[in-house]
A and B are shown apart, each in its own frame.
Chain A
Amino acid sequence: MKRFALAGNPNCGKTTLFNNLTGSTAHVGNWPGVTVEKKDGVYKKLSEPIKIIDLPGIYSLSPYTSEEVISRNYILDEKPDCVINIVDATNLERNLYLTTQLLEIDVPVVVAVNMMDVLEKNGDSLDEKVLEKKLGVPVVKISALEEANLKELMERAFEASEKKREGVTVLESKDLKHLVGDVKIAFKGKKVENPLFHAIKLVENDEIEAKMHEELLPMVEEFKQTLHDETFGNDIEAIIADERYNYISKNFSKVIVHSELAENEKKEVKETKSDRIDKVLTHKVWGLLIFAVILFFVFHLTFSENLFFLGGLFKDAAPSFEGSIYEGLFWTDGGINSPGVILFNFFDMSFSAIIDAVSGAMASGLGEGHWLTGFLCDGVLSGLFAILGFLPQILVLFLFFSTMEDTGYMARVAFILDRIFRKFGLSGRAFIPMIMGFGCSVPAMINTRTLADEHEKVATIRVIPFFSCGAKLPILVAIAGGVCEVFGFSSVDVITYSMYVVGVITAIIAVLIMRHSTQRGEAAPFIMELPQYHWPQFRALMIHLWDKAKHFVKKAFTIILASTIIIWFLSNFGWDWQMCEMEDSILASIGKFIQPLFTPLGFGSQLSAFGWVFAVAAITGLIAKENVIATFSVLAAAIVAGFEGTEEGVAEAVVMITNTGITWPGAIAFIAFNMLTIPCFAACATAKGELQKGTFKWTLLFWIVASFIGASFVYCFLSMFSTDTLAWAIPCTAVFIALGVLTVFYLRHYERKQDSKLA
């Protein structure tokens, strides 16, 4: 099968074209660098099927970030039958810069001028014949969005792929031509493929090239000494970049014919709609505030149970479903639910109804308390539904983030936050994966590919789990609720909110420490294109949500399903493989074995009879954080006969607290531990895939250490305020603070030592 590769600048519409050619559903965004790995699909409308490969966007063939190397290597090593170079008509000059480099490779090239719809809407036109004549390769005008001319593009590409093409260059100044020619001959003699391309890259002093052909470097160096350009001296890199751009502006500045109307308009008002929106959103004073408000509403609309703080004001207008299974769907006495919560409730209530129906039916068929009923309802269904129930809220959160991304606002967020992030040794780009972490760590970790610096990427991936994800929310709500009920505190939200803050503070401290020790380095340069604002495309948004939902459902039916079955089995069977009481189960004995480890955290050996439940819950949480409360509810039923669970797991937490004798600082430290420790299986697998080989085991260790230090600090610190103040709490807290200060001093010392070494 023939293979056509799509190459072009980031954000030029490659993925939209790819989706329309192959009928695929890859995610598109208005954020440079959304495609971070190559994807393939099949085009079937020609006489033979064609494999289409969507490559990550690149500005040049001298790669800068890891995903850009993928594109270069693909074209050079995998030798596609044709490269379709997508060029953004509204930004011709910079886009053609890449074209001039692609033409140097011995591969058939077809140029697709995209976004013709936008150009024509402005009343402009483009003469593709001029381009075609000068570039020497077929040029087709298309609109990927409106699916215009795609057939013609593919036909021309097919034609081109039938013939061989030898690389040509636009570099024409005499001296340079001479040098490139010499190096090319040397490469040809060595039977190197694409001699022209490699020769030019070597002359340009390209990093990858210089490493591959060290033996030719002296020749290039020698020549450089003799070269003396009027403006640039012997700065070959500058001369080549300059020549490329000069070639483009000399030949193609007239290619776009602006309509008279547009010309006049341009003279009168230089400001476009995009500019006006931008002026508000990135305003000197209001920019940061507007962003904070937008962020607040995103979370408010997703998670709030008191929409717009209106209390119960309009609740009479909404159906109450009193007495039915959907009671409380739209509002509670606390207030009106947000769209996210309504969807969550809808799923959650439907699922409980299903479980009730199933268990009822089975009880009447098999008799009360049959093990199969327990297995299906407590083991399989409740575990499955526990995670599926979160799907709507996560989708709502994603809908907001995708909208922000698709409109081009996310790129501006990176722009306005860069200054703050640099203080912690990160670039503004690192903000996006971090904020995504509040939804789910998995997509957040994948997004770190857009970060140019490897150290920055590692540090970001490691702290992403500290931004408490949707699945950790139930732990917070249930235990905070339980603590308040048992110990008589009044405000659950203060505990929940401060736990989020603990997560963020830990992330900041961890990043600071890492960027000054193992992941040392200056904040990566921040040179980024800011795309034009545009309305979100409904299709693109839906594709993104569909992808997300698919991934999530798959996770529920695989990892979570398997782990709930295993937990159910382990908590119902003893070592003799016979069904037994929870207290004698395999799970209990494992829990008791590791329980002492958590003593410094307040939920270890100091607890009474059922103290092992916390250890067990922490372990099951490693598979998926939803398991923590799910485990509580399974165990609570075993501890208290005839136990009635509640939706939010507060009653379960109360049972745990009263039966184990845990103190409130211990219970809160347990929340902190779960927030900071190794994230779920899915997140670990993603981190492993994203990190370079050998880094993952250190990352695991980092999470374990961070959670132990963080949780024991929380435990010590809070114990100072506990009514049963323990004599050790004050000195322990003091030791923690002293150790912290020492670390800071050590790092400073270490840095100075490194600096003097470098100097």
Chain B
Amino acid sequence: MLKKLDEFQIGETGLIKKVEGEGRLRRRLFDMGVTPGATVYLRKKAPLGDPLEVTIRGYELTLRKSEAALVLLEVEEKK
């Protein structure tokens, strides 16, 4: 089952299956490397729970929960 990125727990890793949304916002997500097939690791949340900080394609990216809700992932089992 797919899970939205904003529902992830800190420390969880997932594989992007789908990116929803439209227009410039979606384009920007793609350009920043948030594309299907990329692995995302949720590093932490800001002091007030939002925005999120993730590791993707080897760098740190921050995005809001509202944007993270557009990203659907398959949760990777913890080894």
Interface residues of A (CB under 8 A from B): 59-60, 62, 64, 90-94, 97, 206-207, 231-232, 237-238, 241-242, 245-246, 282-285, 287-288, 415-416, 418-420, 422, 428, 525-532
Q: Is the CB of B19 within 8 A of A238?
A: yes
> Complex formed: what's the CA distance from A532 to B57 in Å?
14
Q: Which residue of A lies closest to B38 (CB)?
A: A245
Q: Is the CB of B36 within 8 A of A238?
A: yes
Question: If A238-B36, A282-B44, A419-B48 touch, does A526 touch B64 (CB 8 Å cutoff)?
Answer: yes
Kindly count the residue-residue contacts between A and B in the assembled complex, taking CB atoms under 8 Å apart. Answer: 116
Chain A residues within 8 Å of B50, by CB:
418-419
Partner of B35, one of A64, A242, A282: A242
Q: Is the CB of A415 within 8 A of B62?
A: yes
Q: Is the CB of A97 within 8 A of B33?
A: yes
B12 lies within 8 A of chain A by Cβ = no
Q: Which residue of A lies closest to B56 (CB)?
A: A94
Q: Is the CB of A419 within 8 A of B19?
A: no
Q: Is the CB of B48 within 8 A of A420?
A: yes
List 17 interface pairs A-B (beta carbons < 8 Å), by A numbering.
A94-B57, A94-B59, A97-B31, A207-B24, A237-B30, A245-B33, A282-B44, A284-B47, A418-B50, A419-B49, A525-B66, A527-B29, A527-B64, A529-B62, A530-B53, A530-B60, A532-B60
| Shortest 3 CB-CB contacts between residues of A and residues of B | A241-B30, A60-B31, A419-B48
Q: Which of B17-54 contact A (CB under 8 A)?
A: 19, 23-33, 35-38, 44-51, 53
B67 lies within 8 A of chain A by Cβ = yes
Chain A residues within 8 Å of B19, by CB:
238
Q: Is the CB of B64 within 8 A of A418?
A: yes
Minimum Cβ distance to chain B for residue A5 (Å)? 20
Minimum Cβ distance to chain A for residue B66 (Å)? 8
B63 lies within 8 A of chain A by Cβ = yes
Minimum Cβ distance to chain A for residue B74 (Å)? 12
Interface size of B as a range: 35 or more
Q: Is the CB of B62 within 8 A of A232?
A: no
Q: Is the CB of B46 within 8 A of A415?
A: yes
Q: Which residue of B lies closest to A285 (CB)?
A: B47
Q: 7 more A-B contacts (CB under 8 A) besides A525-B25, A525-B28, A527-B64?
A: A64-B27, A91-B59, A237-B26, A285-B47, A526-B67, A527-B67, A529-B61
Q: Is the CB of A93 within 8 A of B48?
A: no
Minimum Cβ distance to chain B for residue A253 (Å)? 11
Q: Is the CB of A288 within 8 A of B61?
A: no
> Complex formed: what's the CA distance from A531 to B61 in Å?
9
Chain A residues within 8 Å of B46, by CB:
282, 287, 415-416, 418-419
Q: Is the CB of B32 within 8 A of A527?
A: yes
Question: If A64-B27, A245-B37, A418-B64 touch, does A529 touch B32 (CB 8 Å cutoff)?
Answer: yes
Most buried by A among B28, B30, B64: B30
> Complex formed: what's the CA distance from A587 to B31 in Å?
59
Q: Is the CB of A529 within 8 A of B60?
A: yes
Q: Is the CB of A64 within 8 A of B60?
A: no
Q: Which residue of B lies closest to A428 (CB)?
A: B51
Q: Is the CB of B62 within 8 A of A283?
A: no
Q: Is the CB of A232 within 8 A of B36?
A: yes
Q: Is the CB of B31 within 8 A of A284?
A: no
Q: Which residue of B lies closest to A206 (CB)?
A: B27
Minimum Cβ distance to chain B for residue A283 (Å)? 7
Q: Is the CB of B36 within 8 A of A231?
A: yes
Chain B residues within 8 Å of A420, by CB:
48
Q: Which residue of A lies closest to B29 (CB)?
A: A527
> Complex formed: what's the CA distance from A344 to B40 in Å?
50
Minimum Cβ distance to chain B for residue A230 (Å)? 11
Minimum Cβ distance to chain B for residue A642 (Å)? 59
> Complex formed: what's the CA distance from A544 to B28 in Å?
30
Q: Which residue of A lies closest to B48 (CB)?
A: A419
> Complex formed: what's the CA distance from A415 to B60 in Å?
12
Q: Is the CB of A62 within 8 A of B31?
A: yes
Q: Which residue of A lies closest to B34 (CB)?
A: A527
Chain B residues within 8 Å of A231, by CB:
36
Question: If A282-B47, A415-B46 touch, does A530 touch B36 (CB 8 Å cutoff)?
Answer: no
> Complex formed: what's the CA distance from A386 to B45 in Å?
47
Chain A residues within 8 Å of B32, by CB:
59, 94, 527, 529
Chain A residues within 8 Å of B29, by CB:
527
Minimum Cβ distance to chain B for residue A368 (Å)? 65
> Complex formed: what's the CA distance from A230 to B32 in Å?
23
Q: Is the CB of B47 within 8 A of A287?
A: yes
> Complex formed: what's the CA distance from A437 to B26 in Å?
33
Question: If A238-B36, A245-B37 touch, does A530 touch B61 (CB 8 Å cutoff)?
Answer: yes
Chain B residues within 8 Å of A532, by CB:
60
Question: If A245-B38, A246-B37 touch, does A415 touch B30 (CB 8 Å cutoff)?
Answer: no
Q: Is the CB of B27 within 8 A of A525?
A: no
Q: Is the CB of B62 within 8 A of A526?
A: yes
Q: Is the CB of A64 within 8 A of B24?
A: yes
Partner of A91, one of B38, B53, B58: B58
Chain A residues within 8 Å of B53, by CB:
282, 415, 530
Most buried by B among A93, A207, A232: A93
Chain A residues within 8 Å of B59, by CB:
91, 94, 529
Chain A residues within 8 Å of B31, by CB:
59-60, 62, 64, 97, 241
Q: Is the CB of B30 within 8 A of A238?
A: yes
Q: Is the CB of B36 within 8 A of A416?
A: no
Minimum Cβ distance to chain B for residue A433 (Å)? 18
> Complex formed: what's the CA distance from A160 to B43 in Å?
42
> Complex formed: what's the CA distance from A207 to B19 in Å?
19
Minimum Cβ distance to chain B for residue A269 (Å)? 15
> Complex formed: what's the CA distance from A206 to B67 in Å?
20
Minimum Cβ distance to chain B for residue A598 (Å)? 43
> Complex formed: what's the CA distance from A94 to B55 in Å?
12
> Complex formed: what's the CA distance from A531 to B49 in Å?
21
Chain B residues within 8 Å of A59, by CB:
28, 31-32
Minimum Cβ distance to chain B for residue A74 (Å)? 18
Question: If A94-B59, A525-B28 touch, does A245 touch B35 (CB 8 Å cutoff)?
Answer: yes
> Complex formed: what's the CA distance from A7 to B55 in Å?
24
Q: Which residue of B lies closest to A246 (CB)?
A: B37
Chain B residues within 8 Å of A94, by CB:
32-33, 57-59
